[in-house]
Amino acid sequence: MRSKYQYAAYTLIELLVVIAIVAVLIALLLPAIQKVREAAASMSCRNNLKQINLALQNYHNTFDKFPSARKSKASREIDFRLSWITKILPYLEQESLEKQKQMDLGVSTSPISPRHYGLSFVVPVLQCPSDPNSGKTHLYLNSSYAYTNYLANAGTNSRSTDGVIFFDSRIDHLQIADGSSHTLIAGERPPSPEFRFGWWYTGIGQDGTGTLDYTMGTRALNNSQIGPIYPKCPIGPYHFQQANPLSFCSTFQYWSDHPGGANFAFADGSVRFLTFASDSLLPALGTRNGGEVISE
């Protein structure tokens, strides 16, 4: 006896057509989803830089100067080996980490031996979500380190001292003759591929000044007191442009994982997204008293 209900079956061709349509829809939706994710990550990254800039302004309001990238031993400051970021921890709502830093300094002024807690502590506000390495610690020479995606502006390069935050600097708003709204104070640059540079807590950098770790110039050079950092990379100067995340040469330039440019903080407290097309303006924005005329 036949059932009074008859069910129509899909043919193989119809099934393949449906699968093809679904595949096309997914292909159309994925780029849109990725754009939404990147837009959210870029906004979060920008907000992080705003918080860092606000912390720098609050530090300036308290001490009448911006922090130096790091201090020399001659300064006789107990934390002379630590970065400018460690100076603004209380203004980043990192009071517990600040207390731990003081405790560790009481044991040793050398943050490497014995190791300070902050060396491997990931501070979320220092991480850009667009960076695939965000939120992680990484090994370098068998030790774990936490990194920053935001480096202070030293000026033209590591030795020019014409920026805002560099080795042994004591810069205040009055010394920024070019105008705080026309002078960079920090910008984006992911850590180097092998995680040699980009430590947020401490780091001697390329020549003992902390550059390439937590501060750098807008026209950085591949050099040190004993020669090139990476012999296979050009000496420079390097430019603000799209970089290859796997290239050691990208260590010497501001760049980001955002398409088309990177976020920069200015000395007036503002944060702006600059496209790679603005590279020619970066040297003028990087100096505090170069006297350059910059169009809006």
The residue with greater pLDDT, 103 or 35, is 103
pLDDT score for 106: 94
pLDDT score for 40: 78
pLDDT score for 11: 78
Q: Phi, psi at residue 30, to the nearest 5°?
A: -55, -50
- Inform me whether the pLDDT recorded for 132 exceeds 70: yes
Asked if residue 163 lies in contact with residue 244, where contact means CB atoms within 8 angstroms, the answer is no
Residue ranges of E strands in the chain: 138-140, 143-145, 150-155, 184-188, 215-217, 261-266, 271-275
- Inform me whether the pLDDT recorded for 62 exceeds 90: yes
pLDDT score for 35: 67
pLDDT score for 101: 97
In a domain, 3, yes or no: no
In a domain, 275, yes or no: yes
Highest mean pLDDT among 34-48, 134-148, 176-190: 176-190
CB atoms within 10 A of CB 112: 11
pLDDT average, residue stretch 14-31: 77
Q: Which domain range does residue 277 map to?
A: 12-286
In a domain, 130, yes or no: yes
Distances from the Cα of 58 to the Cα of 61, 154, 237, angstroms: 5, 20, 33
User: CA 87 to CA 94: how far, in whole Å?
Assistant: 11
In a domain, 294, yes or no: no
Residue whose entry in the numeric block shows the structure tokens 């405790």? 103
Our count of domains for the chain comes to 1
Of 156, 199, 188, which is closest to residue 255 (Cα–Cα)?
A: 188
Which tens digit of pLDDT belongs to each residue from 205-236? 888 889 999 999 999 999 987 789 999 999 99
In a domain, 109, yes or no: yes
Q: What is the mean pLDDT of the chain?
A: 90
How many CA atoms lie less than 13 Å away from 14 in the CB half-sphere?
Answer: 4
In this structure, the dihedral spanned by the alpha carbons of residues 225, 185, 58 and 48, taken in order and rounded to 10 degrees, is -100
User: Given pLDDT bands bounded at 50, 70 and 90, which one contains residue 48?
Assistant: very high
User: CA 251 to CA 192: how far, in whole Å?
Assistant: 5
Our measurement of the distance from residue 162's CA atom to the centroid of its chain's CA atoms, rounded to an integer in Å, reads 20
In a domain, 31, yes or no: yes
In a domain, 296, yes or no: no
